Structure 1
Amino acid sequence: MKFFLDENVNQGMISHLASIFRRHEFVGVKEISSKGMDDIELFDHVAMHRCDVFVTGDLMQLRRENEREACRAAGLHWIGIHQVHATGYHTIAGPASTLVHALPFIIERLAATPPPTFFRLKKSERNNTRVFDTAGRL
């Protein structure tokens, strides 16, 4: 399966996702020359590059019927991930961890589901939020 990461998704995730999900391909705006492209045109462009899944941080695409229709017409599955408004490594760690956790379930479901299907992922941990249960001195 081939995944496209929209320009509003940290492009640094591409190599990390590819190293974890080796049976799948991950590309971004640089690989298919799509920087700044209008979303309606972008869906066809992504499909022309043989991508199966469109990954974006623009969750409003689900509410804009013309964009939903363009994604549907292109035959693309859609994954929406929340943007993390933070600094430093949090900008990639939150969305990356959410996507890494969700992709095995999504891939399994997509194997049995004809396109197009959408997945709106839950919010990842926010800046200054701890993901551990307890912490203390040993």
Structure 2
Amino acid sequence: MVLGANQLYTASDISPDGRYITGTGLNSGTFSLFGYRLDLGSTTGIGAAPTIGSLNAWLNPATDAVHFTAPAIAELSIATPDGRVVQRSTVQGEVDLDLSPFVAGVYTLVLRSHGEVRTQRIVKQ
């Protein structure tokens, strides 16, 4: 990586909290070696975002409700075969989705969270 007149060529260590990176470099103008420590600040220690895993709705086909688990806060959309969204809500945990307002047919459940998207077709009888 080139940084001004200095060419950094190795990062040798990172602190346990991910805030500091240390290494050595070579000044390309004078050919002298130097050490460096980058302070990335405290905002880089962000834990991994929870994932939504797979979408496995059960009691499918269903007459009244389907059930599934959303481990992380997620946006749920229910779409018709032509792509029209008929319901949108925020869900998390054990979800009992009431299908009584919907006419019989095929619907697609779309679950979105932290950049992940999961889909499943369900049949309302």
Per the normalisation by structure 1, the TM-score is 0.21
Higher-Rg member (1/2): 2
**Structure with more of its chain in helix, by fraction:** 1
Q: RCO higher in 1 or 2 (8 Å CA, sep ≥ 6)? A: 1
Give the TM-score taking structure 2 as reference length: 0.22
